[in-house]
Amino acid sequence: MTAVEDTPSVPLSPAGNPIGFGRMPRKEDVRFLRGQGNYVDDLNLPGMLHGAVLRSPFAHARINSIDTSAAEALPGVKAVITGETLAGLGLAWMPTLSYDTQAVLATDKVRFQGQEVAFVIAESRYIARDALELIDVDYDPLPVVYDAKKALDADAPVIRDDKEGKTDNHIYDWEAGDKDKTEAAFAAADVVVTEDILYPRVHPAPMETCGSVAHMDPVTGKLTLWTTTQAPHAHRTVYALVAGLPEQKIQVISPDIGGGFGNKVPIYPGYVLSIVGSIVTGKPVKWMEDRSENLMSTGFARDYHMKASIASTKDGKILAVKVDVLADHGAFNGTAQPTKYPAGFFHIFTGSYDYPAAYCNVKAVYTNKAPGGVAYACSFRITEAAYVIERIVDCLAAELKMDPAELRLKNLLKPEQFPYTTPTGWEYDSGDYEKTMRVAMEMAGYEELRKEQAEKRARGEYMGIGISFFTEGVGAGPRKHMDILGLGMADGCDLRVHPTGKAQVRLSVQTQGQGHETTFAQIVAHELGIPPEDIEVIHGDTDNTPFGLGTYGSRSTPVSGAAAALVARKVRDKARLIAAAALECAPDDLEWELGRWYVKGDPSRGRTIQEIAMDAHGPLELPDGVEGHLDAQVVYNPPNLTYPYGCYICVVDVDPGTGQVKVRRFIAVDDCGPRINPTIVEGQVHGGLADGVGMALMELIAFDEEGNNLGGSFMDYLLPTSMECPDWELGETVTPSPHHPIGAKGVGESATVGSPAAVVNAVIDAISPFGVRHADMPLTPANVWRAIQGSPVRTDIAVS
Amino acid sequence: MQVTVTVNGQEVTRDVEPRTLLVHFIRDDLLMRGTHWGCDTSNCGACTVWVDDEPVKSCTYLAVQADGKSITTVEGLEKNGELDPIQKGFMECHGLQCGYCTPGMMMVGRALLDKNPHPSEAEIREGISGNICRCTGYKNIVASIQWAAEHPVSTEASEVTA
Ligand code: FES
Ligand code: FES
C-alpha cells in the first residue's frame, strides 16, 4: 500500500503533458538515453591540451625542492607549473568559500595526502600522466595530525604556519542557544542521557568526477570555462576576484553534470590550474581528475565528533538538548556555507520536538586531511543535526524503556504551534508532524512489526525497527542573513515569451540531474498555461542567464522555483494590459483562466497567452507605459527558509554471528509541500535514501596515523549497489509553505538528511538485547560484531 | 599498433598505443562520448560496452584486445531512429537523473534481457550489481528494465538483432 496520490488532474497539452504540475517524462532524458549528453570531459576543442596534477604522497611534509626538468623534456609536454610559478603570478594561494586560504599548488609544505604539488600540460592525457612520474620532489616528512581529538594538544604540529602568528590548529569556536537556560533544565530533569556520537568523514563521490576545460582567447582576452560547477555565477565572480580577471570577460559554462551532491560547489585548484594553463600555453586546457583524486582531494563531508545530552521528565517529556561538537575541517577551512554560519545550519539540531532549551558549541580544528566539510546533500550540516537528535532521542527511549515511536509522538510539535521559533532561533514555517508520522507507521505496519520482532527475539533472531523524524531548513536564504563570500543568496530569473507564444526561461541555478529542464517548464506552464514542451529552460551558462547562487542546499525549487513562478506572474500581469488593449476593455474587466485572459461575464471574448504574445510583438497600439514584447525579469530574495520534513522507518535483519545487516524495508513519508513533478520528487527521495543506507552501513573516509587516506578508491570507499538497497516504499503528506509562491519546500536533500538515523536506529534496535545503546557509523559487519561483543573501536581511524 | 574493430556495425581501423584503454579509444579516438568512466578500479560500470555482445567494463580492457571484435556502445542501441525498449523503459520509469551511469546501466540491462527475457526483480538487481548509480537509488532502474521486458521489440526487429 502506498500513501502517494497523484496530484489532481490538470489539463493536458497536445503532447500529453500536464500544463502545470503532475507527472511527465523528463525533457532532458532523450539526449542522455542516446549517449548525447554533454559533460565536461566530452568537450574536445581544436588544439586542446591536457593537464594532470602531481599530488603529495605525504600528509604533512616540507618541500625542499621540485625538479621538473625531466618532465619538461618529455616529448609532448608543453609546460610544467609549480607553486613557485604561481607565486610569481600571485596565484599560489586562493581564498576558500569560508574566508580562509588554500594552496593552489603547494609552495612551502604539503598539508594533506593528495594535495596539489605540480601541474603538467601535455598533448594527451597519457603523456601528461607519464610526465608526472618524472617530476622529482624532495620532501621532509613532518609529524601528522590525523586525529581531530589531538589537534589542539600542546605538542601538535602547527599545520597552518603559513598564517602569520598561527601557533595552534584552532579555527573557531561557535555557539548557539541559551547555555544557562539549558543547564538549568538539565539540573531539574529526572533523566539525562549522554552519548558520544560520531558522524564520520564521507564523500559525495558523484559518478562524474570534477574537471574543467579553460580557454583563454589570446586575441579577445575572453576566458571561457566549461566546468563541473553547481554554482556557475558564484564561481565567475570568485575567479574575477582571485585572478583579477575582468568579470565581463569570463564566461562560466556548466554543461551536463554527472551528479554533484555538494561536491561541485567549491572551487578546486585543478580548475584554477586549467585557467593558468590556458593563459600560459595560449591553448584550451582540459583537466579531469580521476576517481582517487576526487575521493582524496575534493570536498569531503561531515567529520563531526559530537557529544549529545538530552534531558527529560521520567515519563518522557523532553526538556532540553545540548551538543558539543569537535569539527574536523582538514588542512584548509574550505567549507561552503553562508558567512554568518561557520557551522552551517547545525543549530537546527533541536529537531522536530517541542522543548524550551537547547545549546550547542562547535570547536573547529585543522588536521592533515583534505579540506571541505559541507557537501554530500547535507543542507549545510543539517545531516549531522538530524542524525544527532534522532540518535539521542532513541537513546533516551532506551533509557526510559519507552517505544521510540511513542516518545516521538509525545514530543512532536503540534500543527497549531507553527510558525514555530526553535530554541536556537529558526522559524519553522509550517507542519503537521503527527499526521506524517502516523502515515509512515501505518504504511510500515508498525504494531505488527513490533510483534514480529518480539517473536523473532524469542527465537534468537535479531530484527530491528528504526524511526527517524527530521525537519530540514532549505532554500538559503534571506539576503540580509545569508551570503557566500559576500554574495547574497538571492536568485534571478528571466522569462521571454516569443511572438508565437513559445517561451524561454533563464535560471541562475544549475541541474546536476534534478530535472530542472522539466520542473521549471512546469512551473511556468502552471502560471501561464503554455505547454511545458513549448518552454525551453536555459541554465548553466553565465553569459546567458541571470545572476544567482546556484544549486545546492535543496535551494533550486525554494529560491529559483519561486523566482520562476513570480516572473511568470509578472508576464501574466503584463499580458493582461496587452489583452485589454486588444479587446478594447479595461484591464480590471478581465479574468484569468489557465492560458487565457477573458472578459468577465463574457467568456467567449478573450485572448490566449499565445495570441497576446503575438499582439505584444505586433502593430497593436499599446497603452501608455506598456512596453512592447512579452517578457519579465525578477530577483527573488526568500523571506525565510522553507522547512520540509518527513518520517522514515527502516526495518533490518542482523546476523549476530557475522554482524551483517540486511535492510529489509524502508518506508519514507516526505512532506515537501506541493509536488511539481511527483515522479522527479520520488526519484530525488530514492537517491537520498540510498545515500543514507550507504553512510549508515558502508561509506567511510578513514585515516591511519601517517595520515594516509584509507578511502581513496572505489575498492575502499564502498558505495551502495542495487543489492544493498531495498525496494523503497514512499508516502507523502502535503503541507504548503505559507511564504513560497507555490508552497513548494524543496526536497533534494531530505532523504540524505533523514535516512541515516533510521538505518542506525534500526540496527541498534536489533542488537539492543546485547546491551548496545549506540555504535558509530559505518555499521559494517565488523563494527556491528564488535558492538555486539561489547568492544567497539574508533571507526574513523586505523592505528597499528 | 593497428586495431580494427566493428563499432555499432561499422568497421574502423586506427593506430593506437598498445596501452590505450578501450574506454579512451572509444571516447577520444572514435569521439563517441556516450560511454563514460567513473573510477580507476573497475568498480562503477559507467564504461560498460559490449564486446561481441558480452558486457565488458571498457576501462579494464585494452583497445588492442578488441582487435577483430565487434563493439556495441550506447549509441548503437537505437535502431532506424527508434529507441530500444531499454531506452524507452528508462524514460518511462524515470530510470535516470544525471544520466552519467545510464549508458552503462542500459548496456547491462539490455544484455540481461537478451539472455533472460523475463527476469525477476532479484535477477535484475543481481544483474546490475556491478554498476553504481549515485542518483536513483536503483528502484527506478529496476522498474525501467522490467518495463523493457514487458515491452519487447516487435518479432521482426528482434530477428534482426538475433
Ligand atoms: S570506469 Fe568504473 S568500472 Fe570502468
Ligand atoms: S543517474 Fe546519476 S549516477 Fe545514475
Of A88, A147, A107, A138, whose CA–CA distance to A706 is shortest?
A147
The reported pLDDT for the residue numbered B154 is 59
The CB density around residue B99, as the number of other CB atoms within 10 Å, is 29
Nearest CA to ligand 2 atom 3: B133
Q: How far is the CA of A717 from the centre of ligand 2 (A)?
A: 17
In percent, how much of chain A has pLDDT > 90? 96
Tell me: pLDDT of A229 over 90: yes
CB pair distance less than 8 Å for B38 and A35: no
Q: Is the CB of B108 under 6 A from ligand 2?
A: no
- Find the residue in B nearest to A680 (Cα): B94
Domain that holds residue B123: 85-152
The reported pLDDT for the residue numbered A242 is 82
pLDDT band at A9 (very low <50, low <70, confident <90, very high): confident
Give me the phi and psi of B129, to 5 degrees please.
-70, -10
A514 vs B contacts (CB less than 8 Å): 97
Task: Kindly report, residue by residue over A320-348, the tens digit of the pLDDT.
Answer: 999 999 999 999 999 988 999 999 999 99
- Do B51 and B70 fall within a single domain? yes
A135 neighbors A66 (Cβ within 8 angstroms): yes
The CA-atom distances, in angstroms, between A534 and each of A118, A496, A507, A775 are 49, 12, 16, 53
CB pair distance less than 8 Å for B133 and A207: yes
- Do B120 and B142 fall within a single domain? yes
Q: Which of B59, B77, B95 is the last residue of a domain?
A: B77
The reported pLDDT for the residue numbered A5 is 47
A505 neighbors A497 (Cβ within 8 angstroms): no
Cβ of residue A30 closer than 8 Å to a chain B Cβ:
yes
The reported pLDDT for the residue numbered A244 is 85
Task: Kindly report, residue by residue over A136-188, the tens digit of the pLDDT.
Answer: 999 999 999 999 999 999 999 999 999 999 999 999 999 999 999 999 999 99
Task: Kindly report, residue by residue over A458-517, the tens digit of the pLDDT.
Answer: 999 999 999 999 999 999 999 999 999 999 999 999 999 999 999 999 999 999 999 999
**Of ligand 1's atoms, which has the minimum distance to the CA of residue B60?**
4
Q: Which of A4, A32, A662, A679 to mutate to test the interface with B (most CBs of B within 10 A)?
A: A32
A720 neighbors B131 (Cβ within 8 angstroms): no
C-alpha cell at A32: 542522455
- Do B103 and B66 fall within a single domain? no
A714 vs B contacts (CB less than 8 Å): 39, 41, 43-44, 132
Q: Give the span between the Cα atoms of A386 and A346, in whole angstroms.
A: 9
The reported pLDDT for the residue numbered A10 is 93
Three-state secondary structure readout of A609-657: HHHHHHHHHCCCCCCCCCCCCEEEEEEECCCCCECCEEEEEEEEEEECC
A652 neighbors A639 (Cβ within 8 angstroms): no
Placement of cell 568512466 in the chain: B37
Burial of A619 (0-12, 13-18, 19+ CB in 10 A): exposed
- Do B11 and B36 fall within a single domain? yes
How does DSSP assign A767-787, residue by residue?
HGGGT----PSP--HHHHHHH
Q: Where are the beta strands (DSSP E) in B66-131?
A: 70-72
A334 neighbors A98 (Cβ within 8 angstroms): yes
Provide the CATH number for the domain around residue B112.
1.10.150.120
- Do B71 and B89 fall within a single domain? no
**Of ligand 1's atoms, which has the minimum distance to the CA of residue B45?**
3
Please indicate, yes or no, if residue B158 is contained in any of the structural domains: no
How does DSSP assign A730-751, residue by residue?
EEE-----TTSTT-----TTHH
CB pair distance less than 8 Å for A259 and B134: yes
Please indicate, yes or no, if residue B52 is contained in any of the structural domains: yes
- Do B51 and B22 fall within a single domain? yes
- Do B20 and B57 fall within a single domain? yes
Cis check: omega of the bond before A738, within 30 degrees of 0 = no
- Do B72 and B133 fall within a single domain? no
Three-state secondary structure readout of A143-179: CCCCCHHHCCCCCCCCCCCCCCCCCCCEEEEEEEECH
Q: Which of B47, B77, B107 is the last residue of a domain?
A: B77
Tell me: pLDDT of A189 over 90: yes
pLDDT (mean) for A265-293: 97
Q: Give the span between the Cα atoms of A453 and A457, in whole angstroms.
A: 6
Q: Is the CB of B136 under 6 A from ligand 2?
A: yes
- Do B117 and B133 fall within a single domain? yes
Please indicate, yes or no, if residue B35 is contained in any of the structural domains: yes
The DSSP bridge pattern shows strands A590-593 and A596-599 to be antiparallel
- Do B9 and B69 fall within a single domain? yes
User: Helices A562-583 and A609-617 meet at what angle, rounded to 10?
Assistant: 70
Total domains in the fold of chain B: 2
pLDDT band at B153 (very low <50, low <70, confident <90, very high): confident
**Beta bridge mates, A614:** none
Ligand 1 binding site (Cβ under 6 Å of any ligand atom): B 37-39, 42-47, 57, 59
- The arrangement of strands across the sheet holding B70-72 comes to B10-15, B2-7, B70-72, B48-51, B54-57
Give me the residue from A33, A204, A725 closest to B102, CB to CB: A33
C-alpha dihedral sign at A162, A164, A167, A173: negative
Task: Kindly report, residue by residue over A555-570, the tens digit of the pLDDT.
Answer: 999 999 999 999 999 9
Give, for ligand 2, the residue of B97, B108, B139 to mutate: max count of ligand atoms closer than 8 Å to Cβ. Answer: B97
Give me the residue from A35, A41, A683 closest to B94, CB to CB: A683
Give me the phi and psi of A293, to 5 degrees please.
-65, -40
- Find the residue in A nearest to B125 (Cα): A722
How does DSSP assign A411-470, residue by residue?
HBPPGGG-SEE-TTS-EE----HHHHHHHHHHHHTHHHHHHHHHHHHHTT-EEEEEEEEE
Of A313, A229, A307, whose CA–CA distance to A271 is shortest?
A229
Task: Kindly report, residue by residue over A680-721, the tens digit of the pLDDT.
Answer: 999 999 999 999 999 999 999 999 999 999 999 999 999 999
Of A291, A369, A294, whose CA–CA distance to A707 is shortest?
A369
Q: Who contacts A755 (Cβ-Cβ below 8 Å, separation ≥6)?
A: A468, A648, A650, A666, A668, A688, A689, A691, A692, A693, A696
CB pair distance less than 8 Å for B106 and A33: yes
Task: Kindly report, residue by residue over A607-620, the tens digit of the pLDDT.
Answer: 999 999 999 999 99
Q: Is A722 helix (H, G, I), strand (E, B) or coil?
A: coil
Please indicate, yes or no, if residue B162 is contained in any of the structural domains: no
A746 neighbors A644 (Cβ within 8 angstroms): yes
B-proximal residues of A, 344-383, CB under 8 Å? none
**DSSP letter at B74?**
G
The reported pLDDT for the residue numbered A800 is 62
User: Helices B85-92 and B102-115 meet at what angle, rounded to 10?
Assistant: 120
A556 neighbors A516 (Cβ within 8 angstroms): yes
pLDDT band at A373 (very low <50, low <70, confident <90, very high): confident
- Find the residue in A nearest to B143 (Cα): A727
Cis check: omega of the bond before A246, within 30 degrees of 0 = no
Give me the residue from B27, B129, B135 closest to A722, CB to CB: B129
Please indicate, yes or no, if residue B160 is contained in any of the structural domains: no
Q: Which of B14, B46, B77 is the last residue of a domain?
A: B77
Task: Kindly report, residue by residue over B47-105, the tens digit of the pLDDT.
Answer: 999 999 999 999 999 999 999 999 999 999 999 999 999 999 999 999 999 999 999 99
Tell me: pLDDT of A628 over 80: yes
C-alpha cell at A592: 484569468
C-alpha cell at A192: 539525562
CB pair distance less than 8 Å for B40 and A33: no
- Do B72 and B113 fall within a single domain? no
Task: Kindly report, residue by residue over A299-308, the tens digit of the pLDDT.
Answer: 999 999 999 9
- Do B62 and B92 fall within a single domain? no
The reported pLDDT for the residue numbered A374 is 86
How does DSSP assign B23-45, residue by residue?
HHIIIIIS--TTS----SSS-S-
Q: Who contacts A246 (Cβ-Cβ below 8 Å, separation ≥6)?
A: A221, A240
Please indicate, yes or no, if residue B28 is contained in any of the structural domains: yes
pLDDT band at A8 (very low <50, low <70, confident <90, very high): low
Task: Kindly report, residue by residue over A20-42, the tens digit of the pLDDT.
Answer: 999 999 999 999 999 999 999 99
B144 vs A contacts (CB less than 8 Å): none
Provide the CATH number for the domain around residue B63.
3.10.20.30
Give, for ligand 2, the residue of A26, A29, A207 to mutate: max count of ligand atoms closer than 8 Å to Cβ. Answer: A207
Please indicate, yes or no, if residue B120 is contained in any of the structural domains: yes
A330 neighbors A373 (Cβ within 8 angstroms): yes
